[in-house]
Structures are given as C-alpha cells and as structure tokens.
Amino acid sequence: MTSPVTPYPLDAPASEQLLGRARQVIPGGVNSPVRAFRSVGGTPRFMERAHGPWLWDADGRRYVDLVCSWGPMILGHAHPDVLAAVTQAAGEGFSFGTPTAREVALAEEIVSRVEPVEQVRLVNSGTEATMSALRLARGFTGRSVVVKFAGCYHGHVDALLAQAGSGVATFALPDSAGVPQSAAGETVVLPYNDVPALEQLFAERGDQIAAVITEAAPGNMGVVPPEPGFTDALRRVTLEHDALLISDEVMTGFRCSRAGWFGLEGMPQGGAPDLFTFGKVMGGGFPTAAFGGRAEVMAMLAPEGPVYQAGTLSGNPVASAAGLATLQACTDQTYRRLDQVSQALAGAVTESFTRHGIPHRIQWAGSMFSVFFREGAVRSYTDAQAQDQERFARFFHAMLRRGVHLPPSCYEAWFVSAAHGDEAVEVAIAAIEDSAAEVA
C-alpha cells in the first residue's frame, strides 16, 4: 500500500529569511493575503521553480502541488505547448496597446466552448471581470441593487466583499474595512441554496435588483455545489423580475469540463445566464480574465454603448497566447486525467480519515473537490464554517512536511492538474495516510 515518508525538518530557513525581507517592503510579506499562512500558522514557502505537478522551494525541497496557483495550472507547470506559445509571443513584443490577432483567437476559443457566450471582453483579473459585469448589469437594467450569496467570493470588488469566502473567510472578516456603506448598501447577501429566501427578497425588492451574481458551483467556501433546481430557480426568479443572472465561472470555467460548470450542469430551465465571468484556467498562469454573454447585453459596453470599461494591458498578447495554448491543450483526455487524480486523492482521504477516526466530508463539482473537517452535508457558508479548523491546520503542516502543498485554508478546493502523474499521486497518498495518523 503506502510507504512511510521521511518528513522535512520543521523549519524552512531560506523561506524564513525571504519572509523577513518581504515583510520590510510588502505588507505581511505577501501580495495576496491567503498566501501568508495566517490560518494555519508558520512560514509560507517561497517557491523557486515548478515543473509538471512539482514545486521546489527556496530550501530546495520538492512538493506535490495541490494549489496549482489556485486553479490556473490545469496542465501542470511549464507545460511545453504553453511555454512554446508564450516564448514565441514574447519574442514578437510584449504589448502594443492596439488590437491583435492573439486576443481574437482567445475570445473565439472561449465563445466556441461556452455556447450562451456570444461575445467576451478580456480583462486582467477575475476581480475586474466581476466588477465590470456588475457595472454592465447595472447599466443594462438601470437598477442598482446586486444580490450575492454568503460564502461566494467574486474577487475584491467593494460591492462583493460582503460575506465572501476565500481569504475573507480565512480571516473571519465579516466585511473589509475601507468599503463604504454606500457600496455595500447596494448589495444584498442571501444564504446559498435557499430558494425561499431568494423568492422573498424578489417579492419585496424585485424592481430594484440589477443582477444576481453567483459562483456557478461555489469553490471559495470549500466546494458547495448548487442543489438540484437551485440554478433553475435563480434563472426563473431573475427572469420574472427582469434582473440579470451572472454566473461567475472564474474558478470552475474550463476546469469542471471543457465548458466549465455550465457544460456539466447543462442549460438551466428558462435559459442561460445572461453574463459569465472567467479567469484562472483561461490565463494559463498569466493575468488574463474575461466577462461575456449575450451580444445584446455586451453591446452596452464602450465603444459601442454607454457603459465604460477599459484596460491598458487588456488582451495582452503574451497572456492571450498562454491562455489560448492552455485551452487548446484542455482536451477530453485532460479532463479524464483530472477525474482520475481527484478520485485517487479523495479516495485516499476517505480511506485514511476513516481508518484514523477523523470526521470528514468530501464534496465535488466535477473533478473539483474539497475536504471539510466535519461530518454531514455542507449546503451553505454557515455549514462550511462549522468545521475543525485547528485539526485542518495540523493536517496542513503534516502534509507540507511530507512534501505535499495543500491550499493553506480549509475553505479551498484541492486543485489538481493533468500533469499529476503516478509518482505525484503516490507521494500524496502516502502523505495523506501518515498525516491522518499524525493528527488523529
């Protein structure tokens, strides 16, 4: 079965030294809060290089990467096709501030994969995509109220930071300082998977609501897929009140299937969401993202329409080349391998946690899964928060010392890639067994 792994030492001298330097010049030493290990304690590992499923840190230690840059590295690191595309694009110049063929090809690839998306606008991050989609929805409807769900994270947009998951969940901040009441006051937060709450809100304020935004299948409070009929209810209620439905596929897009969560769940009764947002996988590790949908709605965007939206580096040729090469390499075989790897890892968790008496619950959205340190179905953010975070922190470090880098938060999916071969899977499975024994 599994062989014991010799753990790395407890300290990580090179990363500790780099963190000291980083803290002098970068708040908390990191450029995105969840990287700081606050919820698990200890020193974040500074990575030096990566290849396939492997990361190497500044102390020269190797890890199986189960973060995959929080989703983008679906093909593994430094995939040869993507590397070749990026190298070629970079050799032809980095950014022109003019339209280019590469961004057209990336837009065509997205439109060809997600049937209801007729047009896209490329932006630089998932945050920009959701922020712009909201502005567009407000411009299209002439209304201002936005509805989101507790535990859904849509980037660090002012209006969407109320009861968000991801890093905000990890830090247990109900909100962020610096978000004015006027911005958050136009946002209504509802419990996820709760159709009566949705119907009641629309009965009271339906004529003020510009849009409902939801994660297509939430992954930022751990994986909490929509219950059967929930997406249909979102579509029905928004149509009844002339509000738009925005499906945030920044995490699930091109990961759950070649057409994201939409491709798995299929067309909601009543029709497709009006707008979609994408990021992560579609940039292949480079900063590019998109929002798109029905041409009639997208026509409201400048320069065609009155809703302003822009970006100096939007549609950047190097990032577009990386995204296009990544999507082109995401074939049926890629998705089959993601399924196999996820099932092998989740199966090992079930077996080892059961053997060692650790309460757990695994939930799925396609091949995307997360492990909750609790028993029983997780339907909402309230459910997700009721887990043993302290045990997760110990498990995280037990895994890290055995050369497996999990996301440093119990509110995140475990991301795998198609490059996770047999050796990486075996190392991870052995580490899961030994770590479960350690934290039992």
Ligand X SMILES: *Cc1c(COP(=O)(O)O)cnc(C)c1O
Give catalytic residues, as residue numbers: 153, 248, 280
Sheet holding 47-51, edge to edge: 47-51, 54-57, 62-65, 404-405
Strands 275-278 and 289-293: antiparallel
Q: Which stretch binds ligand X (CB under 6 A): 102-110, 131-139, 147-155, 431-439?
A: 147-155
Decide whether 109 or 128 has the Cβ nearer to ligand X: 128
How far is 198 from 237, CA to CA, in rounded Å? 8
State the nearest-atom distance from the C-beta of 201 to ligand X, in Å.
22
User: Binding residue for ligand X (CB under 6 A) from 131, 168, 250, 290?
Assistant: 250
State the nearest-atom distance from the C-beta of 154 to ligand X, in Å.
5
What are the structure tokens assigned to 229, written together? 């009929």
Binding mask 266-305 for ligand X (x = CB under 6 A): -------------x---------x----------------
Give the SS3 label for residue 210. Answer: strand
Binding status of residue 326 toward ligand X by CB under 6 A: no
Q: How far is CA 393 from CA 159, 396, 400, 439, in A?
A: 31, 5, 11, 10
Binding status of residue 74 toward ligand X by CB under 6 A: no
Q: Which residue(s) pair with 223 in the sheet?
A: none
User: Binding residue for ligand X (CB under 6 A) from 39, 125, 257, 288?
Assistant: 125
Binding status of residue 154 toward ligand X by CB under 6 A: yes
Binding status of residue 412 toward ligand X by CB under 6 A: no
Binding status of residue 130 toward ligand X by CB under 6 A: yes
Binding status of residue 155 toward ligand X by CB under 6 A: yes
What is the footprint of ligand X within residues 162-201 (CB under 6 A)? none
Q: Do the beta carbons of residue 405 and residue 56 sit within 8 Å?
A: no
Terminal Cα-to-Cα distance of the chain (whole angstroms): 20
Binding status of residue 126 toward ligand X by CB under 6 A: yes
What are the structure tokens assigned to 49, written together? 């290089």
State the nearest-atom distance from the C-beta of 280 to ligand X, in Å.
6
Decide whether 77 or 154 has the Cβ nearer to ligand X: 154
Strands 119-123 and 404-405: unpaired
Residue 35: phi and psi, rounded to 5, are -70, -15
Q: Which stretch binds ligand X (CB under 6 A): 22-30, 97-105, 172-180, 248-256?
A: 248-256
Q: Do the beta carbons of residue 300 and residue 136 sit within 8 Å?
A: yes
Alpha helix locations (H) across 59-180? 80-91, 101-113, 126-141, 166-170
User: Which residue has the closest beta carbon to ligand X?
Assistant: 126
Size of the site for ligand X (CB under 6 A): 14
Decide whether 12 or 416 has the Cβ nearer to ligand X: 416
State the nearest-atom distance from the C-beta of 32 to ligand X, in Å.
7
State the nearest-atom distance from the C-beta of 397 to ligand X, in Å.
25
Alpha helix locations (H) across 299-380? 317-329, 332-355
Sign of CA dihedral 218, 161, 137, 205: positive
Decide whether 278 or 353 has the Cβ nearer to ligand X: 278
Q: Do the beta carbons of residue 212 and residue 238 sit within 8 Å?
A: yes
Binding mask 200-219 for ligand X (x = CB under 6 A): ---------------x----
Decide whether 148 or 397 has the Cβ nearer to ligand X: 148
How far is 76 from 287, CA to CA, in rounded Å? 17
State the nearest-atom distance from the C-beta of 218 to ligand X, in Å.
8
Q: Do the beta carbons of residue 402 and residue 374 sit within 8 Å?
A: no
**Closest to 325 measured CA to CA, from 284, 288, 286:** 284
Q: Do the beta carbons of residue 275 and residue 297 sit within 8 Å?
A: yes
User: Could you identify the residue written with the tokens 């490059």?
Assistant: 419
Decide whether 291 or 395 has the Cβ nearer to ligand X: 291
User: Binding residue for ligand X (CB under 6 A) from 39, 100, 127, 238?
Assistant: 127
User: Binding residue for ligand X (CB under 6 A) from 69, 132, 187, 220?
Assistant: 220
State the nearest-atom distance from the C-beta of 253 to ligand X, in Å.
9
Instruction: Give me the residues that bind ligand X (CB under 6 A), please.
Output: 125-127, 130, 153-155, 215, 220, 248, 250-251, 279, 289
